[in-house]
Structure 1
């Protein structure tokens, strides 16, 4: 068994220290009402909920929060990002790999993508309990630990005492409810047992694959273990966590027209992966690369500079974090399996 000393209150877990370690960010602010701030406030306001679901030890909280960090793209997403480009659809969903023309028709149309991937007429949708037209979109991935499918929304909503089936969006509007539903899933699936043993791989597989004893690794299992250990350092030994980690991207020079080298090649490859044509990945920052980067900046909602600057690097990190959470095909034969991983 792990450390079973009860966490008496908010003062025993410094989530600000965790937030300062998140990729691309070194602070958070509830006043700004950004997604990270909203999530952290919801967690801080949920200690009665943690006690209710026996999420009341450093080990249990560390594993729960560590999993949630990866599930939400480091607290940046309350629901599944389905704004895929044509190339992103082909890379992520087998249905689109088998029909590239359909990928071209559905690109950047989240509702059509959800219905094609999760709809009641698909095998996956039926396994997830989707029975009505529109269920694929209505029951897309949402939550601190993401639910997908009518059956999962119904089951874990009932455990939490929340009518999710009639109003799934309430766990996007109210992140405290999102945390509570995640606790309900956690307890219903017996994940405290594995958290008490500090067995992050089994916890990861229980969350991502619906089965802690699955032989195949969870999607992003290494990240899940890594962030669980970071949170555990805060809940058990907060003095060991550096208060101000050096931001990795702060010292990087912007890339602009005329830049050359491996960094430019990586930028071009990333743009192509996200569906922005550069005219060729050759390691030379020309006008084609600039046009592709401007298109990405426009869609990402960052300042349109035509350069790879710090804000744009953060936007790339956020986009790839969301894609990474949905890029691996897993066995969903167990109807408990949920989340943003798609076929």
Structure 2
């Protein structure tokens, strides 16, 4: 008989609370253990959840763990993933897949060699917001897709995050931190990307923490904090991307998709739901009812989807898509640095659409 997928979490920072909350209502997964470099934090979370607190080494090799959920900072993503894979565990990580393309490639290769699944956030694209927009595109509501825009303009995470330093180190920045939500959505809606051009700027050497016990402390900035570019999809559609930690606010839509006979406004890809607005040629704006996607989805649905996906069938939030998205983003940074068009070497298969449904159900054979 199949059983729920037993998940062990490594890294119990701010994002872990969202996963823990979601797991309580998912039949396809079960929390088995937690680990964190801060042993006190791990013990506290373990007591709250009624599971074991382990060291990282213990968790990644524990026979009661089927999948390691890697919620560490980007610099540690590859190290933890490779450690888990070497122990025969499936892995699912927060975005990006790794801090560098070379590290991400090592994770993908190791997973294939070991015959274990590699998954990666964001799974926001599995909710009713993006999936309803995808259904509209697939159903021909806008005709042949021609172009898209994706915009994220904020003043920076140091205003609200008590430990924001990693956002301004390699593996962070607005593109690698927030870009995965937007680029994964663009790939979901319009397919893989063939080439990019871009420009970027680095406006400040330090950022000042605005909240928490370190408020007032300056952290160094070692990444570009405003990145813009154009992605040429394999289909020929062009997506314009703007990711910034240097702005105050914007009234631009998070994502718009434009075709020959219509346009769509897609909700914030950092969320799972939201209204999809459609304007057909000669018509007027109207809101589409949810027509696809997991209802009431939240962080962790990508893991449940993986658990419910039959062996040999790619899960929707899979490592190949995450690798392609990272390849797109690193190519964009290279294009910005060199002032040239950069070919995106990888590709991916557009993930299967999600029919309008409740939480993924299924079991994990073991």
TM over 0.5: no
TM-score, normalisation: structure 2: 0.30
> Which one has a larger percent helix, Structure 1 or Structure 2?
1
> Which one has a larger percent strand, Structure 1 or Structure 2?
2
TM-score, normalisation: structure 1: 0.31
